[in-house]
Amino acid sequence: MIIGFIGLGIMGRPMAKNLIKAGYKLVVYDRFAKLDDVVALGAEAASSNKEAASKSGLLITMLPNSPHVKEAILGTEGVIEGIKPGSIVVDMSSIAPAVSQEVGTALKAKNIPFLDAPVSGGEPKAVDGTLAIMVGGDQASFEKIKPVLEKMGSSVVLCGDIGAGNITKLANQIVVALNIAAVSEAFVLSTKAGVDPEKVFHAIKGGLAGSTVMNAKIPMILAGDFKPGFRVELHIKDLQNALDTAHNLNVPAPLTAVMMETLQALKADGCEKDDHSAIVKFYEKLAGVVVRK
């Protein structure tokens, strides 16, 4: 099967490379990024979303947000104009669940199955092929694409109908942001009290407070390394989608709302391109201390 892959940024590029390594033939397209390294590995470069779709039996998108996905799939020269009967479209971007459903409905009118399959784990797990992949869509299409998803992730779970993948991802993003904030507040306190943050990390990471977030982000914070990874601006996008979705369902989300304002403060301070571990900078500024080695 030929796989079309659209959007080869921080995440999409290593994911596509893992598919090539697994022996799949890829047709790749990105509107802005250069694709020389992926072509050097054997992928064919397409000149539009439509062309990538027309050459593939499975078409994957990995784009920033809802408008990009709508444009790439439903827009002029988009996937919907090129995709052939019998093909499947899978969007792995983190977008608004309602937009996943809108795209799914448009493709269904052409008899093309659509699944939303956002990921968690960030760039390191995209490189390792160990992402957590949360999927929405029909069972039969899921079974067909699962072996491909398993080349990019170590956990692949069908969560429900179209949109359920992105609902699950929003839940994930709330937990991740608030976990980084809690870790930040705690380490700013212990640092200002004069306790070595490295010792605090080693003392608590194996207990109930330990988390995947703590293990991934504390080493970055201690090194003062805020290179993304996952940009603050992308987390703002995810929490906006979470707040919109929550309010549409009549669900108040008070912690998420506070977290959004924290991220907005970081953006106003010029940190929107930093990794989201930069959330610590907000707490450092409040307390007048930095958590570093």
Binding site for ligand NAD (CB under 6 A): 6-12, 29-33, 49, 62-65, 68, 71-72, 93-94, 119-120, 122-123, 229-230, 234
Pick the closer one to ligand NAD by CB: 87 or 93. 93
Give me the least distance between CB of 238 and ligand NAD, in Å please: 6
Shortest Cβ 240–ligand NAD spacing (Å): 12
What helix, strand, coil percent values describe the chain, rounded to 5? 55, 15, 30
Question: Which residue number, 78 or 197, has a Cβ lying nearer to ligand NAD?
Answer: 78
Residue whose CB is nearest to ligand NAD in the complex, by number: 9
Angle between helices 232-248 and 97-108 (to 10 degrees): 80
What are the tokens at 27? 């047709």
At closest approach, how far in Å is the CB of 287 from ligand NAD? 27
Closest approach, Cβ 237 to ligand NAD, in A, equals 6
Q: Which of 184, 195, 174 has the alpha carbon at shortest distance from 282?
A: 184
Gap between the Cα atoms of 154 and 133, Å rounded: 8
List, by residue number, the catalytic residues: 169
CB of 72 or CB of 280, closer to ligand NAD: 72
Looking at the Cβ atoms of 6 and 263, the one nearer to ligand NAD is 6
Query: How many of the other CB atoms lie within 10 Å of CB of 248?
Result: 11
Is the CB of 46 or the CB of 200 nearer to ligand NAD?
46
Long-range pairs for 72-77: beta carbons < 8 A, 24 or more residues apart? 72/6, 72/7, 73/49, 73/103, 73/106, 73/107, 74/103, 74/106, 75/49, 77/48, 77/49, 77/50
Q: Minimum distance from CB of 170 to ligand NAD (Å)?
A: 11
- Closest distance of CB 113 from ligand NAD, Å: 21
- What is the C-alpha separation between 64 and 95, in angstroms, rounded? 8
Residue number, 127 or 289, with CB nearest to ligand NAD: 127
Give the DSSP H/E element, type plus range, for residue 196.
none
- Tokens 């999927």 correspond to what residue? 135
Please tell me whether residue 90 adopts helix, strand or coil conformation.
strand
